Amino acid sequence: MSSSAKRSGVWKYFVEVDKNKSKCNLCGVQLSRGGMGKTATTSSMKRHLQTKHKSEYEEVFGTTSIASSSKEFVSQSSQSQVSGFLKQPSLEDMLEKKKLWDINDSRAKRCHYLIGEMIAVDNEPFSIVESHVGFRRFVNNILPQYEIPSRIYFSENVIPDIYNKVVNNIKSRLAPVNHISFTTDMWTCQTNKTCFLSCTAHWLEESYMLGHAVLDIKVFPESHTAENIKKSLLDSVSDWNIPATKVRAVVHDNAANITKGVKDANFPSFRCFIHTLQLVINDAIDANTSVKETISAARRIVTHFNHSGYNKLHEIQEELGLPKKKLHQDVITRWNSTYYLLERIIEQRRAISVYFAESRNLNFENLSSDQWEIVLQLIILLKPFEEVTKITSSTYSPISDVIPHAVTLMRYLRKEELSEKTYQVDDFRNALVSNMNKVTRFNLEYLFENRTYLLSTFLDPRYKINFYNAYQADQARKAVLREALKISLDTEDDELVIDAEPAEKKARMIDRDHTASEAHNLFWECFEEAADASTSYQPNDPKNSAAADVLVQKTGSENKYIAPLLHELFFSQR
């Protein structure tokens, strides 16, 4: 047999019987090869595999050509263009496969757009279209007719075109909206010290679905003064054709410069609830030497295992039957990352202690028994704060969540006053209460005096007046009537001034053994105590977030025609 004949993949399933016959290894059938010696072919063997053993045929020769399948997907051409193995490719077909699409061909433009979209969505560098060999090979194999343009073509044509389409889409969605809220943040990239200022819009669609879009992430080279921040925010609103009268709220962190910048722009200013929680907890840590030193010692342990001791720790975890998990490193700007750091080292306490017992020449020590107890009690005490942080960190968490969770956290901390804990953690709890009572944070009296907080909670079908005392509920009703009158008369009105003295019910203290799970239960017990018993809101239901969206949408849609003024007021407060 000639060496060239043997090179065919079909011989994987055949053996030569004599010079003009072969035998199928799968079914034993003998086939004529159409000639003797060098004139013999493998055509009959291929046909046999194709008709009798299709899976083996596809293994050797493949299915419909990739190029033809891709052509059908991109251009939606007729079935005749999809050439398979049943038909011998014509000269015209072969030439068509080698012919490159023009850069402006509709099929090529579709590919340009998809690659540009990938660059934008996946944050890929423009160089992927030139220097990433694997990507180029992949595209060439899938679509040999498509030639990838240069990075300049993508940066000057494709990406700007995609950007303009997205901008126009967002503008068309914002145009009919009468009330738009914004979140803004400023941060510095640690690698090159470049500062950025972001601006994100949030609004309620006519369908009662929440919408949001990042409008700007600008490089901010100027000095971080209130005046420069004010100018940047005004420019963002102007660039997106949003009248200042539509700006319902601007949510920001507690920094003095950004607070003043927002107010100087004459935008309603609201401090971020999560950032406020961050300050409340961090200030309490900084004021408590024992707690601060304990957390610092825990960080040293985590840093060690994340650099050099992980393999040994992993072996110990395996020996002790503990979960094989890395220790968490925290981020100073996210208080809950510190919570997860402490939670993880408690979980791995036995493994960590064994590691220290077996190791020598370490330049730091394990936590003392007192420090381990402080860590355990901090996790228990801060568990509800972690849950609230997770809930209100959602993109779709509205401002109406603030009063219910602030009220519940205060009630929870008061109940914790009589529970057993070390004096260090008790001092820490007292500092949390003190920090939460500061007017500059989320003092409850301040929240109930603020019309936006008051009305948004009142109008939220999940809450209504469930977290108000009798006086606050009466004030909320009056505020709703006044706002409804303003809408009906289309006239300006003075700001509602509410000088309420919150009449909080005295919290019932409980003395109980504590675990993080019990802290969770105690917090939601406080939530239910603060809310009216008739409420349909189930705070500890893991599906509650989705159910709340449905409830808001259903209630809003029903009120649109039954109570049009309430419908308009609801939109203005979201």
pLDDT digits (tens, 9 = 90+) for 140-180: 999 999 999 999 999 999 999 999 999 999 999 999 998 99
pLDDT at 395 over 60: yes
Q: Averaged over 230-258, what is the pLDDT?
A: 92
Going by pLDDT thresholds of 50, 70 and 90, the confidence category of residue 453 is confident
Going by pLDDT thresholds of 50, 70 and 90, the confidence category of residue 92 is low
pLDDT at 557: 53
pLDDT at 490: 60
Question: Using an 8 Å Cβ cutoff, are 200 and 213 in contact?
Answer: yes
Distances in whole angstroms, Cα of residue 54 to Cα of each of 62, 100, 322, 427: 10, 33, 51, 77
Residue whose tokens read 């609201």: 270
pLDDT at 187 over 80: yes
DSSP state of 334: B
Residue whose tokens read 């419909």: 64
pLDDT at 247 over 90: yes
Say which amino acid occupies 522.
L
Question: Using an 8 Å Cβ cutoff, are 180 and 247 in contact?
Answer: yes
pLDDT at 171: 94
Residues of 67-82 as b/e, b for ≥16 C-beta within 10 angstroms?
bbebbeebeeeeeeee
pLDDT at 333 over 90: no
pLDDT at 185 over 70: yes
pLDDT at 296: 94
Q: Distance between CA atoms of 147 and 165, rounded to whole angstroms? A: 24
pLDDT at 120 over 70: yes
Say which amino acid occupies 247.
V
- Angle at the Cα of 194 (from 212 to 152), degrees rounded to 5? 75
pLDDT at 486 over 60: yes
Q: Distance between CA atoms of 470 and 465, rounded to whole angstroms? A: 9
pLDDT at 122: 94
Distances in whole angstroms, Cα of residue 84 to Cα of each of 12, 42, 88: 22, 19, 8
Q: Averaged over 547-556, what is the pLDDT?
A: 50
Q: Distance between CA atoms of 120 and 103, rounded to whole angstroms? A: 21
pLDDT at 121 over 90: yes
pLDDT at 511 over 50: no
Say which amino acid occupies 448.
F
pLDDT at 4 over 80: no
pLDDT digits (tens, 9 = 90+) for 205-226: 887 788 999 999 999 888 889 9
pLDDT at 528: 66
pLDDT at 284 over 90: yes
Q: Averaged over 331-353, what is the pLDDT?
A: 92
Look at 4-13, 184-193, 267-276 and tell me which has the smallest mean pLDDT: 4-13
Question: Using an 8 Å Cβ cutoff, are 72 and 81 in contact?
Answer: yes
pLDDT at 199 over 90: yes
State how beta strands 180-188 and 247-252 pair: parallel
Top pLDDT among 386 and 221 is at 386
pLDDT digits (tens, 9 = 90+) for 534-545: 344 444 443 354
Closest CA to 49 of 36, 60, 63, 65: 60
In the chain the first and final C-alpha atoms are separated, in Å, by 82
pLDDT at 524: 58
Please give the model's pTM, rounded to 2 decimal places: 0.68
Question: Using an 8 Å Cβ cutoff, are 154 and 77 in contact?
Answer: no
Handedness of CA 39, 45, 51, 55 (dihedral sign): negative
Domain 179-271 CATH (choose: 3.30.2320.80, 3.30.420.10, 2.60.40.10, 3.30.1050.10)? 3.30.420.10
Highest mean pLDDT among 44-58, 60-74, 195-209, 291-305: 291-305
- Alpha helix ranges (H) inside 53-89: 54-61, 66-75
Q: Which two tokens stand for residue 120?
A: 């934008």
Going by pLDDT thresholds of 50, 70 and 90, the confidence category of residue 470 is confident
Q: Averaged over 394-413, what is the pLDDT?
A: 88
Question: Using an 8 Å Cβ cutoff, are 204 and 211 in contact?
Answer: yes
pLDDT at 342 over 90: yes
Question: Using an 8 Å Cβ cutoff, are 495 and 482 in contact?
Answer: no
pLDDT at 241 over 80: yes
pLDDT at 418: 67
pLDDT at 23: 87
Q: In what order do the strands lie in the sheet with 21-24?
A: 14-18, 21-24, 30-32
